[in-house]
Every structure is written in C-alpha cells, then in structure tokens.
Amino acid sequence: MEILRKHYKSGDIIFCEGDNSDCGYLIEAGAIELSVIKKSKKIIISILEEGELFGEIALIDGKSRTATAIAMDDCTLFKVVPEHFQQRLEGSDPLVSMLVKILLSRVRDTHDLWLTDGEGIKSKNIRRLVDDENYQLLRKVARESVVAQSRLSQALEQKEFELHYQPIISLKTKELRGFEALIRWRKNGELVPPYQFIEILEKSGLIVPVGYWVVEQACQDFSHIKKFIRLIQKNPAKLFMSINVSGRQFTEADLIDRMKKIVNRTDILTEDIKLEITESALVHNTEDAVTILEQAKKDNFQLALDDFGTGFSSLSYLHKFPIDTLKIDRSFTVNMLNDDTSMRIVNSIIGLAEGLGLDIVSEGIETEQENKVMTGLECTYGQGYLFAKPMPMTELEVWLEDYLKKFNK
C-alpha cells in the first residue's frame, strides 16, 4: 500500500518542471513555492499554504509538470492520486467532467503560451483535447446527457411523468397492506421504465423537483384510493403508501420539511407514508442520512430500507438508522429456490429483522412456490407479479374491486 502522507524538509524539491506526473498534493502543513523558468530566469508563480492543492493538472491528464514545487519550510503533504476522485468525477454529470477537463487543459495551454510568449505554440497544441480519444467520448456522452436532461426537464413541466402503484400484501393473511408508487415517463405515447431515466434525473439533480412531484401525486392518488376502498369495504384496514427517495434527494437539508408540507396539504398523514431509501444512499452519506432520517421519524414518516442485502456490509450500521421495514432485494427472492447462499441470506435477513422488531417486505414474488417459502419463513409482507404488477390508477381500481371482495367486511 502506497504511503500517501509524506514529510518534506525546508528546501526539498517535490517535483521539477518537465518531470513525469501522476498525482497532485494537498498541503496539510507548511508552505510550497511554485516556480517556472522563463527565458533562463526563475519566476515564482505562487506561494501556497495549508489546505491548498497543487499539481492538480496531473490528476486529469498525467502529462509532464508545468512548474517546480519546493518546500519553503518543513511540510506535510497528502498525495492525491487519480483514484481518489476519478471514480467520483466519472460518476458525476458528464458535463461537469467535461468542464473540469476543459478547464485544466486551458490552464495548461495558457501556461505554455505565457512561458513562450506565444512563440512555438502550434495550433495543434493549443487544441490538444481534439486528439484525446477519451475526451471525444466524454464530449459525445456530455452532449447526449444535456439533450436527455433538457428533455426530462420538459417532461416534468409538461406533466409527462405518471405514477403506477403496486400492491403490497400481508403474506400470512393475504390482505392488502399498502402500495409502492413507481414512476414512469409517458414519452410520445410510449411508457418509459425508470431504469432508462432515473440515473439521469439523479446526476442532473432533476430528481429533487421530480421527487417532490412524486410525493404530491402519490398523496393525491392515495387519498382517492382510500375513498374508493371505502366504497367497497366498511372498515378498511390501515394502508401505507411507499415512496422511493434517491440518495441525491438526501443532500437537500430541507427535504423532510418540504415533504411534510406537501403531505399536509392533502388529507393524507405523514404516518401513512413510507419512505423507501436504498442502502447505498445511506452508506455513502451516513452522518447526514442519520440526521435526515431522525427528522423523518420525528415527523412520523415510516422508513424502509430498500434493496436490502445488495453489496454493502449492512449489518454493521443497521442499528444507527431509525427504520421500520427491510425490503429484501428481488435478486434473493428469484434465486433462493435454487441457490443455498441466497436462501441462507433470506433466512438471516428475516431473523435479523425479527430481532430488531422490523417488518420485512420480500420484493419480486412471482411464483406460488416463492410465496409459500416466504410465507413459511414468516416474512411480513410480499410484493410481486404473483399478486399484481404496478398499475395506473384506472387499472388499480379494477384490481382493488376484484381483490377486496375476498376480504369484504
């Protein structure tokens, strides 16, 4: 493992102009002088102190150093390697990655121009990004992403999103217990599933306004659904409405406040709303997430951990979050009958949930056999095509009329 924190004595050279480069540096303590040689004379271009970053261009293009860095006194430097942020940069909006690349390349160009007073710089050098294959790919992706984002922003304005509702039932009694609201995009008459646009909404931040729209629409529809059910059943059971909240929404400090206000404008109570949050959203942002979830709990929202069991060391942090429900990821339901490991994981999740006093929903129950096994394991709730697919409101009414007749009180 590479040692990333290093000490330098006053006068030590950290790197020289022209050296190969592969990292940047963050100054933890001390001061650094950056200089260049111009017309055989040393010119100091900057004195940097604690907390500042230098050598950063190398992080993007890995080309040679454009200046010399010398420790001005005893320094501690933290080496910033491309892996520290390349993944984050690639994970961010392609337009942002493109901007960072362009800016750093322009800094290099300006530096070269200044150093040679404009002499000897060929136009090919000035536009060096044109030859960079990765950049060309990024440019294509960024362009597509801008087009998609503006189309999605238009979709929100023109009310092209719609919510479909999938029933969640008690596995023991088969009674209806709630619904999950799932977004779709009606694009030119065709229904586009969320996997084709949620990521773009998240990366662009559009998920924030779309998320508030989801809460509002789901509350209005839930209010309608409850009235409809009361026409069929005299004493309907208490139901919940599950709403998906993505990690990006968790960066909004007033998220819960705004959601509460939206819910309060309808005749739905916050205690009827179950916010579904994925494990990854919590793990990547634990401190803030705990604060937001505690506020949600204080405001009486129910909380579910979605896609539980996928890819994270879930158990170690579970007790930190004030959640009510675990949703076992569909991949376990699909595999448990022919894969021992999946079956063991399902078993442990159910045991764990029982121990912590949490409800469990198993997602993706498609067959009678899966239903039987999950019911046998005393999983609280089930959701899946065996019971019902996600449906638009009109279809849901037909389904409710038919399903609730079996439990008419």
- Write out the residues near Ca ion by the rule CB under 5 A: 244, 276, 306-307
Stretch near ligand C2E under the rule CB under 6 A, chosen from 62-70, 259-267, 345-353, 359-367 = 359-367
Stretch near ligand C2E under the rule CB under 6 A, chosen from 7-15, 100-108, 361-369, 398-406 = 361-369
Contacts of 47 (CB under 8 A, 6+ apart): 31, 32, 33, 34, 72
* 14 vs 182 by CB, closer to ligand C2E: 182
190 binds, among ligand C2E, Ca ion, none (CB under 5 to 8 A by kind): none
Residue 242 and residue 178 in contact, taking contact as beta carbons nearer than 8 Å:
yes
Residue 244 binding ligand C2E, by CB under 6 A: yes
In the list 105, 246, 325, 362, the residue contacting ligand C2E (rule: CB under 6 A) is 246
Rounded distance, CA 280 to CA 73, Å?
Answer: 43
CB of 174 to ligand C2E, least distance (A): 16
Contacts of 119 (CB under 8 A, 6+ apart): none
In the list 384, 400, 403, 404, the residue contacting ligand C2E (rule: CB under 6 A) is 384
* 105 vs 246 by CB, closer to ligand C2E: 246
178 binds, among ligand C2E, Ca ion, none (CB under 5 to 8 A by kind): none
Residue 385 binding ligand C2E, by CB under 6 A: yes
Residue 66 binding ligand C2E, by CB under 6 A: no
Kindly state the tokens that stand for 212.
């508030």
Total binding residues toward ligand C2E, as defined by CB under 6 A: 23
Q: List the one residue out of 265, 255, 324, 266 whose CA is nearest residue 295.
A: 255
State the pairing for strand pair 190-192/176-187.
Answer: antiparallel
Give the residue ranges of DSSP H helices in 285-357: 286-298, 314-318, 330-335, 340-356
- How is residue 102 annotated by DSSP? H
Contacts of 107 (CB under 8 A, 6+ apart): 57
Residue nearest to Ca ion (CB): 276
Residue 217 binding ligand C2E, by CB under 6 A: no
CB of 162 to ligand C2E, least distance (A): 11
| Alpha-carbon distances, residue 24 vs 17, 38, 112, 139 (angstroms) | 14, 23, 19, 25
Stretch near ligand C2E under the rule CB under 6 A, chosen from 29-37, 55-63, 265-273, 382-390 = 382-390
In the list 82, 205, 236, 364, the residue contacting ligand C2E (rule: CB under 6 A) is 364
CA angle at 154 for the pair 151 and 158, rounded to the nearest 5°: 135
183 binds, among ligand C2E, Ca ion, none (CB under 5 to 8 A by kind): ligand C2E
Contacts of 99 (CB under 8 A, 6+ apart): none
Beta bridge partners of 42: 37
In the list 193, 209, 311, 351, the residue contacting ligand C2E (rule: CB under 6 A) is 193
Rounded distance, CA 53 to CA 48, Å?
Answer: 8
The string of DSSP letters for 143-208 reads: HHHHHHHHHHHHHHHTT-EEEEEEEEEETTT--EEEEEEEEEEEETTEEEPGGGTHHHHHHHTTHH
Residue 209 binding ligand C2E, by CB under 6 A: no
* 55 vs 382 by CB, closer to ligand C2E: 382
Beta bridge partners of 43: 36
* 105 vs 217 by CB, closer to Ca ion: 217
In the list 23, 214, 292, 328, the residue contacting ligand C2E (rule: CB under 6 A) is 214
Contact track, ligand C2E, 263-282, x by CB under 6 A: -------------x------
CB of 138 to ligand C2E, least distance (A): 26
In the list 198, 229, 290, 352, the residue contacting ligand C2E (rule: CB under 6 A) is 198
**Burial level of 356, CB count in 10 A (0-12/13-18/19+)?**
exposed
Interface with ligand C2E by CB under 6 A: which residues? 166, 182-183, 193-195, 198, 207, 214, 244, 246, 276, 306-307, 330, 363-366, 383-385, 390
